[in-house]
Amino acid sequence: MNGIDVFAQLTQHIKRQADTDKQAFAVASQCMTWFYHQLRHKPAPPAVQHIAWNGRWPQAIAESQGDDAAGCRTKYPGGIDAVRTDFQRTQAFLSLTLTFYEFALVGDGDDNSSYSARELHDILAALNLAAEPSLGPDVHLQSLTAQFDSLHETRGMEALMTGMGKLYDQGYRVTTADKAHLNRVME
């Protein structure tokens, strides 16, 4: 195929979203842990303060100013319920993104980091996208990235898994190379 490398550009597009999704998930996860930690721990009794002033703030005051765990209270003013909702949302986005990345890898049946004409046809058809070679790689890439963006926005895991099933029905499988590649993206 002449022109653009559909495999490379598609996987780069998905990886950029994966990086964004991982960051959002990490923040939600960290804040959920922080909120749960706050629920479990009762405030410590106030420290005994001596009358003599040493020019520094008491340790308890200094610690309470940093207690906000990088803005969890600010980011989630609804508290634990708000962070739970966001945790579920970010987890769903990340899961879909990584599954679509796996789909893109599985579609490269010979693991050469490029789609042959047959492989490209198969992944397009698996997602019910126009697969005519005359459309060219630019249109095919645009179709694939638009489909990913649409599925990501709607959390369309069912449609994605149907497409994955179609690839499996044609003999495509997750290979050791695919697993290694996916693990690098998940780091």
- Is 47 within a domain? no
- Is 1 within a domain? no
- Is 142 within a domain? yes
**Global pTM value:** 0.82
**Are the C-beta atoms of 111 and 178 separated by less than 8 Å?**
yes
Domain count, the chain: 1
Please report which residue ranges of 41-133 form alpha helices under DSSP H: 59-65, 72-75, 80-106, 117-126
Residue 20 lies in domain: 6-41+57-186
Q: Tens place of pLDDT for every residue, the chain, 187 residues?
A: 445 799 999 999 999 999 999 999 999 999 999 999 988 876 666 665 554 444 444 444 334 434 555 689 999 999 999 999 999 999 999 999 999 999 999 999 999 999 999 999 999 999 999 999 999 999 999 999 999 999 999 999 999 999 999 999 999 999 999 999 999 999 8
- Is 15 within a domain? yes
- At 73, the amino acid letter reads R
